[in-house]
Amino acid sequence: MKKLKSRLKKGDTLHGCWLNLGSPLTAEIVGLSGFDWVLIDLEHGAGSEKEALAQMQGLQHTSAGIIVRVESAELQRIQRVLDMGAEGIMCPKINNLSEAKKVVNGLYYPPMGQRGVAKMVRATQFAQNFQSYYETSQENILGIVQIETKEVLNHLDEIANLEGVDVLFIGPADLSMELGIFGQFNHPEFLAAVEKTVTAANKAGKATGILFFNPEEYSKYHQMGIRFIACGADATFVAEGAKNMVEKLVKLRSQES
């Protein structure tokens, strides 16, 4: 475990990125680059749970904590990737307290949640470390709910105060789409929603997170109090690297002509 939860509680700012190619090799490359955490995306990414397992194995020897975004708050979706070794779960489009409770139920063993017990899984080193894993799960497993809908903006305080929810993570694309201002991240209505989320999280002693693709936005969000920051994705890194190389080669070719 990479102690993401305890670092957030201390007030550290943690940097992460998305993994959406489903590749254990790009996962390993990104993990070795120095990010505090990476997110394996099972909602929109190219991979399935099978590829997620291979990516976790590739990330094991890196310094990056492993978060998995599941497709929904269904118990089976959450506990399967936890058993594989995920250190945190992100669940998209949580609307209210009832849905947030479903996430928490999947994260933790009874009595706090309803996660099923299986000792012979990767997370417990195939039963060699179950007791320690069980006893420290509440202090190590990170619960992240995504703030992406109009409805959730009316329930932020309730959700932030729920034990087991550690991060309120803003999804800019979906939230701006719901607000009718898609992609307008400097729009007053979007910024008001961000500020409202940060305020609720701070009051409850929780963290706020966000994903963006332009590093120039870092200061704006950090100054608003956001400490769980994601920028970029493995697909973006590959695409931009390839494009930059082609542009350089084309420029050199023209100089040689």
Is 44 among the residues known to form the active site?
A: yes
Q: For residue 175, give its domain range.
A: 4-256
Angle at which helix 75-84 crosses helix 49-59, to 10 degrees, equals 30
Distance spanning both ends of the chain, measured CA to CA: 55
In degrees rounded to 5, what are phi and psi of residue 108?
Answer: -125, 150
Q: pLDDT per residue over 93-138, tens digit each?
A: 999 999 999 999 999 999 999 999 999 999 999 999 999 999 999 9
In degrees rounded to 5, what are phi and psi of residue 94?
Answer: -80, 130
pTM (whole model) above 0.75: yes
Q: What is the CATH number of the domain that holds 248?
A: 3.20.20.60
Q: pLDDT per residue over 142-152, tens digit each?
A: 999 999 999 99
**Nearest in space to 67 (alpha carbons), one of 89, 91, 45, 85:** 89
Q: Residue 15: CA atoms inside 13 Å, Cβ hemisphere, count? A: 12
Catalytic hit among 44, 61, 155, 222: 44
How many structural domains is the chain composed of?
A: 1
Question: Distance (Å, rounded) from C-alpha 189 to C-alpha 179?
Answer: 8
- The yes-or-no verdict on residue 196 having pLDDT over 90 is yes
Torsion sign over Cα 241, 172, 104, 12: positive
